[in-house]
Amino acid sequence: MKRLSIWAALLLLSAITVSAQTRTIRLGEDSPLRKLQYAEMAINFNYVDSVDEQKLVEDAIRGMLEKLDPHSSYMTAKEVKQTNESLQGSFEGIGVQFNMVEDTLLVIQTIVDGPSEKVGILAGDRIVTVNDTAIAGVKMARDEIVRRLRGPKGTKVVLGIVRQGIADKLSFTVVRDKIPLKTIDATYMIRPEVGYIRISSFGATTHDEFCESLAKLKQQGMKTLVLDLQENGGGYLQAAVKIANEFLQKDDLIVYTEGRTAQRFDYHAKGDGRFTDGQVIVLVDSYTASAAEIVSGAIQDHDRGIIVGRRTFGKGLVQRPIDLPDGSMIRLTIAHYYTPSGRCIQKPYEKGKQKDYAMDVYNRLKSGELTSADSVHFADSLKCYTLKQHRVVYGGGGIMPDEFVPLDTLKYTRFHRELSAKGLIIQSTLRYVDKNRKKLKARYADFADFHRSFTLPQDVIDRLFSDAAKQNVKPKDDEEQQKTMPYLTEQMKALVARDLWTMDEYFTIVNEQNDIVQRGLQMVKH
């Protein structure tokens, strides 16, 4: 592939039509574009040492974008591919969920009807070779292992498998296929007549997944929906519009976008929503952003539901992807988006100061905002009103929930946080399930039985604390250890459930400890 010079990149960007108007490109001697061209040519041909022209160009593009807003960015071709996989909802590979245990790939689950399940690979299997190349016990990077397992649809890969109870290594030939990536983490009835759906991001398949989840819950008697958007960083605007459409009446405004050169564009509900009458509770937190804020803002502004949690992230900028010839991409901010009441919820920022912007959530914690609603202040100039009940809402920095839930900073001890940060909790749980999978499956007829009667064995906790001590992770005293135990054991129980069943079962357990979820349930009208 030919190298992309700064001159070619800038001509490409200049040639992109961003509005109905025709742009004139100044190419005279005093043109900024000509100046950049001279600089790039001078460095490339005259610099004392050899230079990587590709990196030089990428650094120049990044340098320009870093002086703009915090969300305009440049991605390499590899980063573009990874992002597209997560948003477009699929990749091509062997179809397993795995984790690394003691430098060995352990299969947690096989994708239903996926390539690995079809040939007989099971949860608990260890993949030790890929096409005769050892991947276990050789300290191979996780990214490299993933690269070896993935490949074009229809290609074959030979996997060497070690299975408990079988002395010899097994060999399976797997034909790679398209593997779906789900954006909905969990769907289940959290209370009688109350359904729960957790969306992790907004991708190309989110709306179809959501409709499937909605139909499933309706069949189980759902009348109220708890829509969990905690930690949802956003994604496709169109996906958010489709989800919001499911709750709103015909012609209700969902969101509109407008920029310096981008004319205003309105998105309206079509009137064919699948849940336009039942009660809606939307859960949000400081990491709820972008497309997730579009859904939250539309529901709040139309007084369609109750927003519960903490002030959202505050990303109200729209990026347009600009593809470059080598597969890389610029994501350039071209507009703001506005909620139906006219709010721009983009939080303040100074151009070129991305570090300060990234520290915003930490600064909220320091200021006391996450623990007290009284610490959140909005200027009167940012005041707007909801469209049905004319309640006061504010723009200028995320969406403030209708029902604030303070962060309990004492709930998780320092010891618990360090155990999590070191990955010790997950590793201990994986090791326990791996050793006892068959016994657990035989002991518990179903998840309900497990949820009711399972208790994590003390020797698992003892092993966890012993491993932690070897890494100098210790409780300050007996009091901290005792305070850690209730949430730690519930977390590990949830992880065991996840590895034996699915994420539905995981969230069924952890949500009983989630303060925002529990406050949301308190808001349900009976």
Active site residues: 290, 301, 315
Strands 104-110 and 126-130: antiparallel
The 3 state secondary structure assigned to 90-102 is EEEECCEEEEEEC
How far apart CA 155 and CA 117 sit, in angstroms, is 16
Indicate the SS3 state at residue 138: coil
CA-to-CA dists, residue 115 to 95, 125, 136, angstroms: 6, 15, 21
| Chain position carrying tokens 């969406």 | 399
Half-sphere exposure of 368 (CA within 13 A, CB side): 6
Q: Which of 248, 238, 239 is nearest to 199 (CA)?
A: 239
Strand order of the β-sheet with 224-228 is 184-191, 194-199, 224-228, 279-284, 306-309, 403-404
Q: Which of 190, 186, 185, 184 is nearest to 221 (CA)?
A: 190
Q: Which of 452, 434, 432 is nearest to 509 (CA)?
A: 452
- Residue 107's DSSP bridge partners are 98
How far apart CA 317 and CA 258 sit, in angstroms, is 10
Q: Which of 441, 448, 498 is nearest to 189 (CA)?
A: 448
- Residue 60's DSSP bridge partners are none
How far apart CA 435 and CA 101 sit, in angstroms, is 12
Contacts of 102 (CB under 8 A, 6+ apart): 431
